[in-house]
Amino acid sequence: TQLLEQSPQFLSIQEGENLTVYCNSSSVFSSLQWYRQEPGEGPVLLVTVVTGGEVKKLKRLTFQFGDARKDSSLHITAAQPGDTGLYLCAGDLYTGNQFYFGTGTSLTVIP
């Protein structure tokens, strides 16, 4: 069982649609990050959230960190084919300097 569960696991949508990806855990994190990864490459950091309840916006992407610091969400508005990729949340626990990744969400945006 992984520490961070993401849903949905796979998502295929039409260009222009909105979507939300969830990242949930029973553990508390000091910070949580979202990454996007393309095949054969390392993950690329999108955002870091550190405060419970925090909301960050990055163009069409909106990230939220849960009040209890156990969950997060990523909302994409008007998805584009360039948004296609594997989205990963990752968190570091208060109990140690270790980063754990979520189960991943594979997004496909169809033109």
Give φ, ψ of 12 to 5 degrees.
Answer: -125, 120
Binding part of the chain for other proteins, among 11-19, 27-35, 59-67, 68-76 by CB under 8 A, reads 27-35
Counting Cα atoms < 13 Å in the Cβ hemisphere of 51 gives 4
* 86 touching other proteins, by CB under 8 A: yes
Q: Does 1 bind other proteins (CB under 8 A)?
A: no
Minimum CB–partner distance for residue 78 and other proteins (Å): 25
Question: Which of 80, 74, 44 is closest to 58 using CA atoms?
Answer: 74
**Per-residue binding letters, 37-56, with other proteins (x by CB under 8 A):** ---xxxxxx--x-x------
Q: Which of 74, 76, 88, 109 binds other proteins (CB under 8 A)?
A: 88
Query: Cα angle vertex 108, ends 90, 21, to 5°?
Result: 40
> CA of 2: how far to CAs of 67, 76, 77, 91, in Å?
21, 24, 28, 12
Give the footprint of other proteins on this chain (CB under 8 A): 2, 6, 30-31, 33, 40-45, 48, 50, 86, 88, 90, 92, 97-104, 106
